[in-house]
Amino acid sequence: MPGAPLGVNKQTGEFQTITSWRSSDDPSPGLFSVSLAPDKSSQIVLLYNGSQIYVKTGVWNGQFFSLLPEIFMEKNFYNFSFVDNEHQKYATYILLDPSQITYTLMDPSGQVKQLSWISDKQQWLLNYNQPPALCDVYSACGPFGLCDQKSSRSCNCYPGFEPASKKDWDLGTWSSGCSRKNSFQCNNKNRSSSTGDGFFEMKMVRLPSNPLNSTESPSAGECEGACRNDCSCTAYAFDHDQCSIWHGDLENVQQLYEDDEDDSAGSLFLRLATSDIPASTNIPPATSNRSHSKLAVIPIVVPVVTVLLGCVVTLFVGLIWARRRSARMAKQVEGSLISFTYADEDLENKSCPSSKAAIDPDSSILEENEFHKLADDTIHDLQEKFEEYGDSIQIDGFDIDYGNQVLTLKIGNLGTYVINKQTPNRQIWLSSPVSGPARFDWDATSNSWVYRRTKANLFKLLENEVEELCGKPICLS
């Protein structure tokens, strides 16, 4: 809450913390909390079960926490301060507009959320949540729960498991995790038995942290055998002659994809009662690396051929696309430095007006699919306009970078704009070297992105500021 301290009493050692509810309808203390760092450094951390840190704000630099500047830099809204004296050490903030009603909570999902009351709509507006992605919360889906950011439901149980509390899961509280449908039969070590244990391969996942044992092993078969012969082993992983074994609950496992950057990605072999393993994936135990390879040949051949054909087609289309764009991208005003970087696919014929027809004019809040399309089209449209604009000015260091759905416009040593979409609250976020950070909502009446507190139009604001910095008019709208 505004004005409330979040820190530590140096004389008593007592920490002030915000703790989540157990679930949305159970106010008993939950598993997640936010507090000053346990080592009493000048930063705030998010904790799982009181000890596992999964988000750090970075240290206070006198103006904001170094790793989360976008949250603390709305100069017209908040005034943050950090107090450190002989008696206490804490962070706090006040609202510059005392009529504004806000509150901050640690959600049962493990995300810190701040909401503002919008009186004319009679509803709460989510200003931000941290971390933005649920799967960045430690053990967001609880024991034996798989977090998948691209799934229609972020949390799912492993095969052979079911929600430990169906009521909690129906309410969208996942931290209770999952429980086994059937216990595995450790006393039956016959590999060919239909009533014994087997292993289910969970491919391309973020492996659980802190395996009980991680040692060198000559083969995948020996690694599997070490787990099978240990009645406490719940899963194993084998990679580059390294065998890792886990006991007890498996937590913080996430489904990963080709575009994810995670050094912990791998295959996790989950121990299950054989009856719980889908027949198509009930892989017999391997005795060597070679036997694993043989089993993998048939399911891999068809996907590989398909991927290769797809790559040839993509390369052919890409060459045509690159030729069409090269002339305009190569054009450069003498004396200026312009570079363009693309990390995402640059689709043609995408523009902000083309997506307006998909918006429900009677809706005050964008549906998720509407928001993503509209925000992506808007940022792409700005990218195209700034590319054309860059060809017509002479400023050393004029640079446009578009990657991972973030548009960065550097105007030499005059400043840098950062434009990206804020998925949790369905807004576009602008960091301006002139007016500072601001978040823009979609206004269906004017068909534009508007800054809620001043009603400034995103495109008009950029036109005025960029013209002021560059000394040359620009038309974005």
State the average pLDDT over residues 152-175: 90
Backbone angles phi, psi at 309, to 5 degrees: -60, -40
Lowest-confidence pick of 190-199, 276-285, 351-360, 372-381: 351-360
Specify the pTM: 0.58
Four-residue CA torsion sign, 339, 343, 346, 350: negative
Q: What is the DSSP string of 289-303?
A: HHHHHHHHHHHHHHH
Gap between the Cα atoms of 433 and 418, Å rounded: 9
Topology, domain 332-470: Metal Transport, Frataxin; Chain A (3.30.920)
Four-residue CA torsion sign, 276, 280, 281, 283: positive
- Residue among 1, 19, 4 nearest 108 (CA): 19
Lowest-confidence pick of 190-199, 222-231, 233-242: 190-199
Residue 311: predicted pLDDT: 45
Higher model confidence: residue 347 or residue 98?
98
- Is the preceding omega at residue 98 within 30 degrees of 0, hence cis? no
- Residue 98 to residues 70, 71, 82, 439, 466, Cα–Cα distance (Å): 22, 19, 20, 20, 33
State the average pLDDT over residues 5-32: 91
Q: Does domain 141-283 have CATH number 2.30.30.240?
A: no
pLDDT at 189 over 60: no
Lowest-confidence pick of 195-199, 263-267, 364-368, 428-432: 364-368
Q: Are 149 and 133 in contact (CB under 8 A)?
A: yes
pLDDT at 212 over 60: yes
User: Beta partners for 443?
Assistant: 448
Residue 233: predicted pLDDT: 94
Q: Place 172 in a pLDDT band, splitting at 50, 70 and 90.
A: confident
Q: Place 342 in a pLDDT band, splitting at 50, 70 and 90.
A: very low
pLDDT at 284 over 60: no
pLDDT in tens, 289-314: 333 333 333 343 344 444 444 544 44
Lowest-confidence pick of 48-57, 173-182, 264-273, 409-418: 409-418
Lowest-confidence pick of 144-148, 269-273, 282-286: 282-286
